Amino acid sequence: MKHIYTGKTKDVYELEGGNYLLQFKDDVTGVDGVFDPGANTVGLSIEGAGRAGLKLTKYFFEVLKEKGIPTHYVDADIEKATMTVKPAEVFGKGLEVICRYRAVGSFLRRYGLYAEEGQALDAFVEVTLKDDEREDPPISEDALDMLGVLTKDEYKVLKELTKQIGNVVKEELAKKDIELYDIKFEFGRTGLDKQIVLIDEISGGNMRAYKDGKYIEPLVLEKLFL
Amino acid sequence: MKHIYTGKTKDVYELEGGNYLLQFKDDVTGVDGVFDPGANTVGLSIEGAGRAGLKLTKYFFEVLKEKGIPTHYVDADIEKATMTVKPAEVFGKGLEVICRYRAVGSFLRRYGLYAEEGQALDAFVEVTLKDDEREDPPISEDALDMLGVLTKDEYKVLKELTKQIGNVVKEELAKKDIELYDIKFEFGRTGLDKQIVLIDEISGGNMRAYKDGKYIEPLVLEKLFL
């Protein structure tokens, strides 16, 4: 097992046979000790955070599998906090794709002239570049195409998958009276036909979820939902 | 003649009969006394700046008229530094539409991970909201549509007009060996059929133009070009 990459919340290893192993860590993104799913720095470390994130990820990736929505997921070992995944290449140096159901966070900071806090949004999709130095700038379909990050056809697939997966997560959470405000995904190309699949994770650290109008912390989400 | 609005670089008056009069001022946008066409504040005042801007605007708007590209332009009085225009409503609270031929300015600040300074761009179009408080955030076609600023059909027209007009300005400048790096436009809806037309101005203050690799100051551009 060969160590490939050390991420903020995961380490990546290459397995015999070509698959990869994601080791979920107890670090979560945030600023000054306060969790923020949109932050680019590790804000704090919480015991059990890795395992909690993996439990949610396993749950959602298996629901997606049942529904025939493609992901890189193979299987997961909760005890070891590891997930086995198929190899996938990211778009350019990595993208985040956000699906929004309510106007909060960076959407509101940018478009507050036209949107009120908490206003309903109809599965609005936007893409940001993973670029810590430039604070993950939003980028348009045209710019992604022009800069060679992804083609217009790939953008269509990405947007459609994002809405589908966002809606699956939203419906799942709604079963426990939890409301999804927004969620971010990562995608990659896999296999010889470069199929676009969901990669990374689906956990409290990737979404804003609310119950009775109150924000649910990522670790609380796992306890409340599973 | 009724005073309607005091802008950063222009005052607006309503004329008898329904047209409007734009009074070009000697104030230009910038920061700390240095001109910057992308800035949101008046940086300095230069004698003759209003008239110079109007001369270029008159020139370009008349070229566009000959080519059948719709604008709000009626006529101009250089001596008085005024321009008569047809009434037009802006999109939402105002948009800026940028056409880029080289990667500089905010494009490079956002997408520097994928673009080199000065790299050629193929008439790349992007839209920003006019919102001083939020530093004119870029906005996607989907967000413009969702927030009710403009429809998808209007976006198509806006993008196509932007490329057409950008290319006209680029070709005009090229006749004097001046290279257009980027230019920003404003558009509005006019008449009962809400036709989309170019409004505001086309002058040194709206573009970055270079000669022999050196940036041309707005007032120098007028002297060099006309």
Q: Which of B85, B102, B123 is the last residue of a domain?
A: B85
Any chain B CB within 8 A of the CB of A116?
Answer: no
Q: What is the pTM of this model?
A: 0.92
Residue A81 clears pLDDT 80, i.e. is over it:
yes
**B146/A124 touch (CB, cutoff 8 Å), yes or no:** yes
Residue B91 CB contacts under 8 Å (≥ 6 apart), including other chains: B144, B149, B150, B154, B187, B188, B189
Q: Does A158 touch chain B (CB under 8 A)?
A: no
Q: What pLDDT is attached to residue A37?
A: 66
- Give bridge partners of residue B9 from the DSSP assignment: none
The answer to whether residue B191 sits within a structural domain is yes
Contacts with B192 (C-beta within 8 Å, 6 or more apart), sequence order: none
CA distance A139 to A158: 14
- Looking at the predicted structure, is the pLDDT value of residue A39 above 90? no
Indicate the residue of B114, B126, B147 with minimum beta-carbon distance to A149. B114
Instruction: Tell me: do A174 and A100 sit in the same domain.
Output: yes
Each residue's pLDDT expressed in tens, for chain B with a length of 226 residues: 899 999 888 999 999 999 999 999 998 878 777 777 667 788 788 889 999 999 999 999 999 999 999 999 999 999 999 999 999 999 999 999 999 999 999 999 999 999 999 999 999 999 999 999 999 999 999 999 999 999 999 999 999 999 999 999 999 999 999 999 999 999 999 999 999 999 999 999 899 999 999 999 888 999 999 9
Q: Is the pLDDT reported for residue A93 higher than 90? A: yes
> Do residues A31 and A196 lie in contact, with contact meaning Cβ atoms separated by under 8 Å?
no
Q: How many CB pairs under 8 A join A and B?
A: 73
- Minimal Cα–Cα distance from B139 to chain A, Å? 8
| Shared-domain flag, residues A214 and A182 | yes
Alpha helices in chain A (DSSP H): 49-66, 105-111, 141-146, 152-174, 218-225
Whether residues A78 and A102 share a domain: the answer is: no
Nearest-neighbour CA in chain B from A145: distance (Å)? 11
Q: Of A114, A126, A147, which is closest to B114 when you measure between CB atoms?
A: A147
Q: Which of B98, B135, B140 to mutate to test the interface with A (most CBs of A within 10 A)?
A: B140
Are both A99 and A70 inside the same structural domain?
no
The domain that contains A130 carries what CATH number? 3.30.470.20
Task: Tell me which chain A residue has its CA closest to the CA of residue B103.
Answer: A147
What's the distance, CA B160 to chain centroid? 15
Neighbours of A148 (CB within 10 A): 10
Do A41 and A97 belong together in one domain?
A: no
Q: Is A146 an interface residue toward B (CB < 8 Å)?
A: yes
* Nearest to A61, CA basis, from A183, A165, A207, A164: A165
Is residue A54 within 8 Å of residue A83, measured between CB atoms?
A: yes
A138 touches chain B (CB under 8 A): yes
Residue B188: name the closest of B208, B168, B161 by CA.
Answer: B161
Tally of structural domains, chain B: 2
**Is residue A80 a part of any domain in this protein?**
yes
Say if residue B40 is exposed, middle or buried (CB neighbours under 10 Å; 0-12, 13-18, 19+). Answer: middle
Taking the CA of residue A65 and the nearest CA in chain B, the distance in Å comes to: 29
Its domain, for residue B128, covers 89-221
Residues in B closer than 8 angstroms to A138, CB to CB, are 138, 140
Given A62, A85, A108, which residue is the final one in a domain?
Answer: A85
B151 CA to chain A: closest CA distance, Å? 15
Average pLDDT over every residue of A89-114: 97
Whether residues A110 and A203 fall in one domain: yes
Looking at the fold, whether A115 and A190 belong to one and the same domain comes out as yes
Shared domain for B65 and B117, answered yes or no, is no
d(CA A161, CA B22): 48
CA distances from B51 to A96, A139, B126, B203, B218 (A): 47, 37, 29, 10, 12
Residue in the block written with tokens 């990405």: A158
Binary contact (A92, B110; C-beta < 8 A): no
pLDDT surpassing 90 at residue A208: yes
Check B124 against A143: CB less than 8 A apart: yes
A214 touches chain B (CB under 8 A): no
Verify that B97 and B197 share a domain, yes or no. Answer: yes
Residue B196, chain A, CB below 8 Å: the answer is no
Q: What number is the average pLDDT over the span A20-32?
A: 89
Q: Which amino acid type is present at position A7?
A: G
Q: Give mean pLDDT, residues A153-179.
A: 98
Asked whether residue B130 is domain-assigned, the answer is yes
- In a shared domain, residues A95 and A153: yes
Sequence length of chain B is: 226
Q: Do B134 and A113 touch (CB under 8 A)?
A: yes
- Asked whether residue A226 is domain-assigned, the answer is no
Contact at 8 Å (CB) between B151 and B50? no
- Give yes or no: residues B116 and B216 share one domain: yes
CB within 8 A of B126, min separation 6: which ones? A140, A142, A143, B97, B98, B100, B107, B138
Taking the alpha carbons at both ends of chain A, their separation in whole angstroms is 31
Mean pLDDT of A164-193: 98
User: Where does a domain end: B25, B57, B85?
Assistant: B85
Same domain flag for A119 and A79: no
pLDDT value at A101 more than 80: yes
Q: Give tens-digit pLDDT for A45-66.
A: 888 999 999 999 999 999 999 9
Task: Tell me if chain B has a CB within 8 Å of the CB of A88.
Answer: no
| A121 belongs to a structural domain | yes
**Residue A37 structure tokens:** 């799913």
Tokens at B27, concatenated = 């104030």
Q: Is residue A119 part of a domain?
A: yes
Mean pLDDT of the region A77-103:
97
Beta bridge partners of A120: A102
Nearest to A110 among B114, B134, B146 (CB): B134
Alpha helices for chain B (secondary structure H) = 49-66, 105-111, 141-146, 152-174, 218-225
Flag whether B97 is in a domain. yes
The pLDDT assigned to B95 comes to 97
Burial class (CB in 10 A: 0-12, 13-18, 19+), A169: buried
3-state SS assignment for residue A55: helix
CB contact under 8 A, A137 and B111: yes
Is B226 among the domain residues?
A: no
With beta carbons under 8 A apart, name residues in chain B contacting A99. none
Portion of chain A with pLDDT greater than 90, in percent: 86
